[in-house]
Amino acid sequence: MIRIMLVDDHTMIREALRGVLERDGTLQVVAEVGDGETALRRVGELVPDVVVMDVALPGLSGIEITRCLHASHPQIKVLALSTHLDRHIIQQMLDAGAHGYIVKSAAGTELLQGIRNVVAGRSYLCPEAAALVAASLPGRQSAPGNASADALSQRELQVLILLAEGKTAPGIAAALHIAPSTVDTHRRNLMRKLDLHNVVDLTRHAIRTGLISA
């Protein structure tokens, strides 16, 4: 059972998220809190597996709370859930120690996928966030190995990140709820668009452009 804490200052949103998560028999919401100070206290008491963290909170921001949690409880995964689709905010949350970022408009299936990915030790960006982060990276020109961000679809960016993290086609298919053959198609398209020839080259490209850390 994956134990989850919800941190959001809107009661209706917390209730809706709880409903989505608890329909899955492998997930348990152990606490709902509406502010950062309470979140830090309850995390120490409950030590959940995942904290689903809103960014905009009264008092301490989600970025500040994430930074504190990363320092005091590095084993706990933080998954940011926010209305903000802003490159700077996404990067600040990731720099603070968040393991993933999902916009609230993409909640639901994306949230379930995000939780399972971060629990498995993988990072997770919803397609909108992944595309925004990739589009902001320097050096993404049309030269070989540096196709423009517009050349890659949101799904291709997700597949690229997971391939670079060493995931297999069946593993990526399971994580993204697509067929393994579709993963193979995305991989071929990535190699063609980026003018690269194998997964090692794709991994180097992902590291060089900042999609994953070395």
Domain around 19? 2-126
Q: Which of 126, 145, 163 represents a domain boundary (last residue)?
A: 126
Q: Is the dihedral of CA 91, 137, 210, 195 positive or negative?
A: positive
Contact 59, 36 (CB under 8 A): yes
Per the domain annotation, does 117 fall within a domain? yes
Q: What is the CATH number of the domain that holds 169?
A: 1.10.10.10
Indicate if 197 and 103 belong to the same structural domain. no
Indicate if 150 and 67 belong to the same structural domain. no
When pLDDT is averaged across residues 10-29 and rounded to a whole number, the result is 92
Q: Is the pLDDT of residue 139 over 50?
A: no
Contact 10, 35 (CB under 8 A): no
Q: Which of 126, 152, 176 represents a domain boundary (last residue)?
A: 126
Helix (H, G, I), strand (E, B) or coil at 136: coil
- Tell whether pTM > 0.75: no
Helix (H, G, I), strand (E, B) or coil at 134: helix
Q: Which of 83, 98, 126 represents a domain boundary (last residue)?
A: 126
Q: What is the CATH number of the domain that holds 120?
A: 3.40.50.2300
Indicate if 115 and 183 belong to the same structural domain. no
Per the domain annotation, does 160 fall within a domain? yes
Q: Is the pLDDT of residue 124 over 80?
A: yes
The pLDDT tens digits for 157-205 are 888 888 887 888 998 888 888 899 999 999 999 999 888 888 888 888 8
Indicate if 23 and 67 belong to the same structural domain. yes
Per the domain annotation, does 92 fall within a domain? yes
